[in-house]
Amino acid sequence: MEEQEMEAEALGAIYENLFVVESTNPNKWSVTLYPIDCQDPDESEQVNHVGCKLIVTLPDTYPEIAPELDLDIIKGLAQEQKDTILALAMEECENNLGMPAIYAVCEVIRNWLVDNNVKGLDDESMHAQMMRRAREEDMKKVRG
């Protein structure tokens, strides 16, 4: 439990008011994530087309056991992206078993948000999905 308290303290220092201890029995935390950190909410609204809140429920035996993760969409994402982000987050947890992993999970999510900070991800029309897939294919080619 002490390890969890230290991790909560570190996350609070890193994410400041974006990190919230939702409950302490069990430990349940949330971290609000956007691609671009802005102090000004109006600026954030203009530059961030996507955003989500990671919700983490920690078992007593965390970090030996992976936490339970969930995601609330704040803006710009559809269920398809939520599922993708959660899968990446769970993979990161598995890769970090035995170590505090929430910061690493947040970074994986934030990097995904940075790579996908475009308008219209929550548009579920067929045309939007086709355009999105074409963009993703182009990004893969660019990355090699």
Domains and CATH numbers, the chain: 2-119 (3.10.110.10)
**pLDDT value at position 128?**
65
What percent of the chain stands above pLDDT 90?
Answer: 70
Sign of CA pseudo-dihedral 95, 9, 109, 56: positive
**Predicted TM-score (pTM) of this structure:** 0.83
Q: Give pLDDT, residue 96.
A: 95
CB 88 within 8 A of CB 112: yes
CB-based contacts of 11, cutoff 8 Å, min separation 6 = 19, 29, 31, 102, 103, 106
